[in-house]
Amino acid sequence: MSEQTQEPRALQRVLNDPVSRRRFMGLAGAGGAASLSVLLAACGSDSGTTTESTMSAAPAKSGTEQFGKGDLGILNYALTLEYLETAFYADVIKSGLFKGSDLATIKTFGSQEAQHVAALTAAVKQAGGTPAPKPKAKFPLDSAQSVLKLAGTVENLGAAAYLGQAPNIQSPEVLASALAIHSVEARHASALNTLLGQPITPDGAFAKPADADTVLKSVQPFIVS
């Protein structure tokens, strides 16, 4: 078999196998060189089966166990973050700080976050779980510029949070849903980064993931006890 034939088949194995795909994605968040090494290793093997080391790898703790076990905990963790984002945009809309096209964009972002809440709520119920309770939140809305900065922080954090959980997700369906939301969060972040005069991709060619502990500590100041 030619080298050209081996490489597409090996790449397809990585994409089709959920465990290999999660590992590849997790390393992509950690750095491009690590991701490339995984891909090259896969392309160098002509075996049609997953390697023993990949199959035996136990999923690491996600840091979301307080929200439930396994994927259910990750879903409820994501739902909690989406509650906060939805509440943030609702408060910004009510603040009167934005008009015209700026307000229209904020309304669009808020509507999309609300759709994320609905989708994650349905996913939790479908998995046989109880959706996480909606936290009470309060955000500093002092000026239009400070709100934009906070929005940028929130959206960049949201994108990093989903990326941080990708390697921990067991279900291919949950992983696909998380990535679909992650993409939207990242696009929101890029739009806000542009408005703020920041780099569209602040981490460069490879986005950096954020673990649950980091994310939850970051949003804690906005949660009212």
**pLDDT tens digit string along 151-202?**
999 999 999 999 999 999 999 999 999 999 999 999 999 999 999 999 999 9
> What is the secondary structure of 165-205 as a DSSP string?
HGGG---HHHHHHHHHHHHHHHHHHHHHHHHTT--SSTTTT
Average pLDDT over residues 205-220: 96
- Mean pLDDT computed over every residue of the chain: 82
Alpha helices in 17-167 (DSSP H): 18-30, 32-43, 52-56, 70-95, 100-126, 144-165
Closest CA to 124 of 167, 70, 164, 84: 70
d(CA 217, CA 120): 22
Average pLDDT over residues 5-15: 42
Cα torsion for 170, 71, 216, 137, to the nearest 10°? 140
Average pLDDT over residues 17-27: 45
- Say what the pTM is: 0.76
Which band of pLDDT confidence, cut at 50, 70 and 90, is reported for residue 17?
low
pLDDT in tens, 46-88: 444 433 333 234 456 899 999 999 999 999 999 999 999 999 9
- Show Cβ contacts of residue 203 under 8 Å, excluding neighbours closer than 6 positions: none
Residue 24 pLDDT exceeds 50: no
Residue in the structure block whose two tokens are 């998380």: 178
Domains of the chain: 3-56 (no CATH), 65-224 (1.20.1260.10)
d(CA 217, CA 225): 14
Return the DSSP state at 129: -
Per-residue model confidence (pLDDT) at position 175: 95
Residue 94 pLDDT exceeds 50: yes
d(CA 225, CA 221): 10
